[in-house]
Structure 1
Amino acid sequence: MQLTEEQLKKFNHDGFLIIKNFAPKELCDKILEKAKKHLEKKQAPIESEQEYMNLNENKITVRRLRQVFNREEIFKEWMTYKEIRPMLKQVLGDTPVLTLAHHNSIMTKMPFESTRTFWHQDRRYWNFENDNLVSVWLALGDEYLENGLLEFIPKTHKMNFPKDRFDEASNFLDEHEENKKLIEKRVHQNLEKGDIVLFHCQTLHHASKNKTEKPKISFVYTVKAQNNKPIKGTRSDFEEIVLD
């Protein structure tokens, strides 16, 4: 499947694109079934809410299952899904390559225990020659503001910000006067099972806490352009899968 000219233009303009009803429902259900088993066991490697918030607590609330590519065949099936490859090639302008160093994850927002995801750019996670990376977000169920839906600030993938607009963890500062003006331009669209979001690694985004009684579980992975090489000796210098 390829993006229409209008869709590609929208992605390049806004830094993200929502595609409704893309992944088969049966595939989503199989992914969710396996994901719940790993979440129930808190099967490593994981990232916890306590780790993310630098909380010194013995309790563990899973924020993400990491390194999921090799956990289950159904996870691998989605990350190498042939129908999406032409679209990824369009937005990257090159052959897409799965980077397995990070954003190879099942993401969660657990009821009452999840924390807010601060405004940020995903570029902070990687060390490549350039920032030509795109993430693929798959909704495995309904996603809306009350349970932690992603919100985006359009056009921020083309903006350069000085360091004083971010904190030490590379979170975009809420109370910075210039930031506040930009955050007012945030947008969102509710997602349903099978919807995907393509977003550039420089597009500012965030998600609120889950205020409902049901977990929100999603799948995210990231691709880079084949000509975008990792910096040697960094964690991005890791296993890759070419999606030709």
Structure 2
Amino acid sequence: MKLDENQLKEFHENGFLVLKNFADTKLCEKILEKAKSHLENKIAPIETEQEYIQKDLEKVTVRRLRQVYDRETVFQDWMRNEEIRPILKQILNDTPVLTLAHHNSIMTKLPHESTRTFWHQDRRYWDFKNNNLVSVWLSLGDEFLENGLLEFIPKSHKIEFSKDRFDEVDNFLDENEENKKLIETKVHTNLKKGDVVLFHCKTLHHANKNISNEAKISFVYTVRAASNKPTKNTRSDFKEVILD
């Protein structure tokens, strides 16, 4: 499968693209079954809500399962999916490479225990030669605003922001007057099981906490262009998988 001309243009112009009904439902169900088991048993490595908001470290509410590629074969099956490879190659204009140091994760927002994910660009986490990186977000169930659906700011990946528009951990400041105007342009698309969202590493996005009564569970991984090498001896210089 490949993107048509309009889809490719939409991704490059807006910095993200939704692919409806992309992943096989049975595969999603298998992923979800394994993910729930790892979440319920809090199998390390994990990130907790308490770490994220830096308080009450005695409590453990899982925010994400890290390093999922090596946890289960079914997780690898999705990350090595052959149908999406031509699309990733189109977007990157290069051979895609799974960068397992980053966004190699099952993401969750548990009901009433999750926290808001502030506006940010994922590029803050990584150390690569350039910004030719794309994340692949797979919805494993219904995602909507009340349970923490991702919202995006179109075209934000093309803007060069001054440092004063971010806080000390590179969250985009809600109270900044320039930021407020840009945040007003935010958009969202409700997701169903099997829907995929592709987004550029500099596209601003956020998600509210989950105020519904059911957990929201998603799968995200990131690919880089083969020519976009990680900086040596950094966190990004880690195990990778070439998707040729």
After TM superposition, the score normalised by the length of structure 1 is 0.99
* 8 A contact 2:51–2:57 mirrored in 1: no
CA–CA distance in structure 2, aligned partners of residues 17 and 89 of structure 1: 15
SS at the partner of 1:190? coil
Deviation at 1:226, TM superposition (A): 0.1
Q: Distance in 1 between matches of 2:234 and 2:196?
A: 29
SS of 2:83's equivalent in the other structure is helix
Give 3-state SS (helix, strand or coil) of 2:136's partner: strand
Determine the C-alpha separation between the residues in 1 that align with 2:210 and 2:107: 12
- C-alpha displacement of 1:56: 3.2
Uncovered stretches (5+) of structure 2, i.e. residues with no partner: none
Q: Give the corresponding residue for 2:194.
A: 194
Q: Distance in 2 between matches of 1:160 and 1:145?
A: 28
CA positional deviation for 1:131: 1.0
Output the CA distance in 2 between the equivalents of 1:56 and 1:73: 34
**Equivalent residue letter for 1:161:** F
**Partner of residue 75, structure 2:** 75
* 1:133 equivalenced with 2:133 (yes/no): yes
Whole-angstrom CA distance in 2 between matches of 1:228 and 1:6: 26
- What is the aligned partner in structure 2 of residue 183 from structure 1? 183
Letter in 2 for 1:213: N
* Corresponding position of 2:54: 54
Q: Comparing 55-64 with 160-169, which one deviates more in the overlay?
A: 55-64
Q: Using the alignment, how far apart are the partners of 1:11 and 1:102 within structure 2?
A: 21
Match of 1:231 in 2: 231
* CA shift digits 1:90-146 (9 cap, x unpaired): 010100000000100000000000000000000011100111100000000000000
How many angstroms does 1:57 deviate by?
3.0
CA distance in 2, matches of 1:236, 1:176: 31
| Cα separation, 2, equivalents of 1:17 and 1:83 | 16
State the one-letter code of the partner of 2:69.
F
Q: Structure 2 counterpart of 1:231, which letter?
A: T
1:54-97: CA deviations, max 9, x gaps?
11331100000000001000000000000000000001010000
Distance in 1 of aligned mates of 2:93 and 2:167: 32
Residue 26 of structure 1 is matched in structure 2 by 26
Contact 2:139–2:194 (8 Å) recurs in 1 = yes
Task: Give the percent of matched residue pairs that are identical in Structure 1 and Structure 2.
Answer: 71
In the alignment, structure 1 segments of 5+ residues that lack a partner are none
Is residue 114 from structure 1 mapped to residue 99 from structure 2 by the alignment? no
Q: How does 1:145-184 map to 2 (within 5 A)?
A: 145-184=145-184
Partner SS state of residue 83, structure 1: coil
Q: Which amino acid aligns with 2:192?
A: E
CA distance in 2, matches of 1:124, 1:183: 19
SS across alignment from 1:141 = coil
**CA contact under 8 A between 2:114 and 2:209: conserved in structure 1?**
yes
- CA distance in structure 2 between the aligned counterparts of 1:41 and 1:57, rounded to whole angstroms: 18
Whichever residue aligns with residue 58 of structure 1, its letter is E
Q: Deviations over 1:151-180 (max 9, x none)?
A: 000000111001000001100000000000
1:194 aligned partner, one-letter code: G
Do the aligned residues in 1 keep the contact of 2:98 with 2:243 (CA within 8 Å)? yes
SS at match of 1:173: coil
The 5 Å alignment of 1:198-213 reads 198-213=198-213
Q: CA deviation at 1:42?
A: 0.4
Aligned length: 244
TM-score by length of 2: 0.99
